[in-house]
Amino acid sequence: MKVLVADDDAGSRMVAKAAVEQSGHECIVAADGNAAWELYQSHRPHVVVTDLVMPGLDGLDLCRAIRSAEQDSYTYLVLVTSKGSREDVVAGMQAGADDYVTKPLDPFTLHTRLLVALRVTTLHADLAHYRAALSEQARTDPLTKLYNRLKLTEDLERLHSSSARYGHDYSLAICDVDNFKSYNDIYGHQAGDAALQAVATSLARQGRQSDGVYRFGGEEFLLVLPGQSASGAEAMLERALAAVQGLGIAHAGNPSGVLTLSAGISSYTAEHRVSNDRILNEADVALYTAKAAGRNRVELAAEIRQMVHGR
C-alpha cells in the first residue's frame, strides 16, 4: 500500500515512516495539513495517518477533505491524537476517520492498524471492480455484446450537449434487418440470434473508433456518428449495408436471397439544430421510407436530404 503520514512533529513523522516501511508499505510524509492535502491529491494513497493538531488543515479538516474528494476508491484514515479524549475520537470518526492511535506512537499499534487498512482497502477495491462490472453489464446487450438503449441514452445526451455547446455536427442511423420475422420463421430463432450477432460484428467493424454501435431493440441497431456530416454518414452506411450483404447469410424470404439491412439517417448540423429526440424520430421515419422503397437501401431524413441532395 501507499501510506501518507501527516504530522508537524519531525520525531513522530520519523517513527511513523519507519513503522510503515517495516510493515512493507511505501511511505510519503507531510509536515502540515496543507502539504498533506496536496500530496493526497497527487498520489491518492491507500492510507492516511494524520495528526489531529497541525498547521494549515488540521486532522479533522483533512479527513473531511479526503472523504469529499473520494470517488471510486476508498482511503483508510487513521487519526493520531496526543489527547486521546472521547470527544476527540468521536469528532475524528464524524469527520471520516476509520480508526485512531494515541501519541507517543507505538510502531506495533500502527502495524496492526495497517493490517486492518489493507483488508478494508482491498475489500473496497474489489467492490469498486464489481460495481464497474455490473454497470458495464447493465449497459451491454447480452446477445450481441453491443451497448444497449440505456448506454445509448447516456451517450447521446452527452454528445448532443457537447455538440450544441461547441457547434459540432453528428449523425444518427437506425438499421433494421430486412424481413427478419420471416428469417426466424424459416430458419428458427437460434439461427436468428446467430444472424444478429454476425450483423452486430459487421456493423462494429465499419465505424471509426469514435463511433458508437448499439442494439436498439429486436432486429434494430443504431449508430451514433460524432462529427459526421449527413453525406459522410450516408457513405458510411452504404458501406455497412454492403458489408452485411457480403456476409452471404442465406435468407430465402428476402428478394436478394441473402440477409440485408435497411437504414435511415438524420443529422444534427448548423442548419438543423434540433433536439436529439427529433433526430432519432427523423432517422426512424427515414428507415420506414427505406423499407417502403424496397428495402436494402439507405435513406436520409427528408429534412436532411433537401440540404444534401437538393431534393
pLDDT for position 97: 94
Phi, psi of 81 (to 5 degrees): -130, 140
Active site (annotated) includes residue 219: yes
58, with CB counted inside 10 A (0-12, 13-18, 19+), is: middle
Residue among 16, 27, 26, 29 at smallest CA distance from 111: 16
List the domains of the chain with CATH numbers: 2-137 (3.40.50.2300), 149-309 (3.30.70.270)
Mean pLDDT by 10 residues, the chain (311 residues): 94 92 95 95 95 92 93 90 79 92 90 93 87 83 94 94 93 97 95 97 91 94 95 95 96 95 95 93 96 95 79 60
Q: Are strands 298-300 and 2-6 parallel, antiparallel or unpaired?
A: unpaired
CB-neighbour burial class of residue 8 (10 A; exposed 0-12, middle 13-18, buried 19+): middle
Q: At what angle do helices 86-95 and 59-69 cross, to 10 degrees?
A: 20
Please give the pLDDT value at position 127.
Answer: 87
What does the longest C-alpha to C-alpha distance in the chain come to? 86
Helix (H, G, I), strand (E, B) or coil at 274: coil
Instruction: Tell me the CA distances in angstroms from 190 to 30, 140, 245, one per residue in order.
Output: 63, 20, 20
C-alpha cell at 300: 436520409
Which one is catalytic: 136, 219, 238, 271? 219
- Nearest Cα to 224, choosing from 161, 275, 267? 267
| Residues 243 and 202: beta-carbon distance below 8 Å | yes
